[in-house]
Amino acid sequence: MTEENLSFLEEVRRRRTFAIISHPDAGKTTLTEKLLLYGGAIRLAGSVKSRRAQNHAVSDWMEIEKQRGISVTSSVLQFDYNGCCINILDTPGHQDFSEDTYRTLMAADSAVMVIDSAKGIESQTKKLFQVCKMRGIPIFTFINKMDRSGKDPFELIEELEQVLGIRSFPMNWPIGSGRDFKGVYDRQKMQIELFGEGNHGQSKTNTVKGKIDDDKFKDLLGENLHRQLTDDIELLDVAGDNFVLEEVLDGNLTPVFFGSALTNFGVEPFLEDFLNLTTPPTPRESNFGEINPETDNFTGFIFKIQANMNPTHRDRIAFLRICSGIFKKGMTVNHVQENKKVRLSQPQQFLAQDRVVVETAYPGDIIGIHDPGIFRIGDSLCEDNSKTKYQGIPLFAPEHFSKVYTKNALKRKQFIKGINQLSEEGTIQVYKRPNIGVEELIVGVVGALQFEVLEYRLKNEYGVDILMEQMPFRHIRWIEMDNFDPSNFNITMDTMIVEDQDSKPVLLFANEWSIERVKERNKNVELNEISFRK
């Protein structure tokens, strides 16, 4: 094996690529910042600009927009910790962007779920968890804000099972809570870790470690807390689930950690165990079966496209997850879907707070490539001529539909350009009625907030004011059929036949009842709730 090969394998094996999910305000931003702090990527906490605006719903869209320049650099972050190269993917907290979350999770190898210890499992945690479940990736739980009085840890563990339906294994157990949160007990090392005073979480916390039966801990904790800890551990050992790594990797068992991102308590024990347990990049499914990340042929797929990140440049970036081989700046690769060669110049990587031009990147890494309008979400790239295509990224069923027009007919060209770009980014889906001129465009979105994004971005990025006319539809089904003939299709009065951007036939329904009637009347036709692009 040549030296280059060896270092390539080492590089792959030290990669850890994961997404952090949480209900807004549970502490995702704070935890991310603390991971950067422990990774040495920032020196003092508080230096990463807050992305909190992302979490606040409709009225704050303007704010979100202002923050977008910041959020892109933090939407993928890379840093080193203990020999591992970590790639963190950010996911939007708002439910209206759950499609975006799904796409981001396609690029991740595992997920960290942050839970507020006082609130337990919140609505958005539930939805995001379901998305992780669909992906079948390992999920790690960080129960945050232990420095505040919260729910009983046993109750939180039970909630994971009751509300999310996932078994859990506490990797550590909190010692005290609220003002008395003193440390954690590591169940595998059978060791107590007490946290020092710290400086309000600005820098790393000092710790005192030792065995539970060491007399010094009885003094440090006090008789009562020490006894309670011993009892809790005994109960967990007897009544809790067993730790089985395969179950974790299959997404059936979640390792749980307790801590406080704000004060840094428990951040380091979490990071160390998590990096040991989660996997380096794993083989991914393609049209040729599983592709091993350690193979030479460079391959990857695009999971996110973001245009106009920087208003002065009007650039468009496609986010590429590298799946195998080595990426080298300036390399020419095959764009499998379009059957064309493209040169990847100016690739960018996102290091802590900076965007830098990347020279070399490895499986597990995410790079941003300049997109002159040729990429679509789900596209595959590969170095050789094998035409390796990764499993596509599905289109989810929109639940809100509107007809969209430009107010000013003279702006029609910009209007169409904007609509097409936002559709390629996955912000909206666009449909047309067959045999009706291009004057009428129907837009579908999964979350209503996306209509605001559409209106705002068309105005700000394309100078187009629009009118939207809400339509009564709530459901969509794709018709999987070659040579579909609408005239032979029997639908209800309140159903509409349209075509999506790939000219696939689609049905829009006002209610579930109509779906059932149409199914009954057209028994030989398959109706699908999600669709894969070509």
Give contact residues for ligand G4P (rule: CB under 6 A): 22, 24-30, 52, 55, 93, 144-145, 147-148, 260-262
Give the shortest CB-27-to-ligand G4P separation in angstroms.
3
Q: Is 530 left (phi over 0), alpha (psi -120 to 50) or beta?
A: beta
**What is the C-alpha to C-alpha distance for residues 261 and 93, in angstroms, rounded to an integer?**
18
Residue 115 or residue 309: which is nearer to ligand G4P going by CB? 115
Q: Is 26 annotated as a binding residue?
A: yes
384 is in an annotated binding site: no
> CB of 122: closest distance to ligand G4P in angstroms?
10
Comparison of 122 and 232: residue with beta carbon closer to ligand G4P? 122
22 is in an annotated binding site: yes
State how far the alpha carbon of 512 is from the alpha carbons of 293, 307, 475, 480, 495, in Å: 43, 36, 8, 19, 11
90 marked as part of a ligand binding site? yes
State yes or no: 28 annotated in a binding site.
Answer: yes
Question: What's the distance, Cα to Cα, between the start and end of the chain in Å?
Answer: 39
DSSP output for 222-254: -HHHHHHHHHHHHHHHHHSPPP-HHHHHTTSEE
Asked whether 432 and 498 are in contact (CB, 8 A), the reply is yes
Q: Which of 30/380 has CB closer to ligand G4P?
A: 30
Q: Least CB distance from residue 72 to ligand G4P, whole Å?
A: 16
Asked if 191 and 210 count as a contact pair (C-beta separation under 8 A), the reply is yes
> Taking the C-alpha atoms of 222, 224, 225 and 227 in order, what is their torsion angle to the nearest 10 degrees?
110
Q: Which two tokens stand for residue 381?
A: 């790239």
Question: CB 36 → ligand G4P: shortest distance, Å?
Answer: 13
Cβ nearer to ligand G4P, comparing 145 with 376: 145
Is residue 361 annotated as involved in ligand binding? Answer: no
Report whether 27 belongs to an annotated binding site: yes
- Closest contact distance (angstroms) between CB of 303 and ligand G4P is 21
Q: Which residue type, as a one-letter code, is found at position 289?
A: G
The SS3 assignment for 477 reads strand
The least distance separating ligand G4P from the CB of residue 271, rounded to whole angstroms, comes to 15
Is there a binding annotation on residue 523?
no
> Residue holding tokens 């003279």?
410
Rank residues 26 and 446 by Cβ distance to ligand G4P and give the closer one: 26
Which lies closer to ligand G4P via its Cβ, residue 128 or residue 458? 128
Q: What CA–CA distance (Å, rounded) separates 26 from 444? A: 30
Contact 323, 298 (CB under 8 A): no
Binding site listing: 22-29, 90-94, 144-147
Binding site listing for GTP: 22-29, 90-94, 144-147
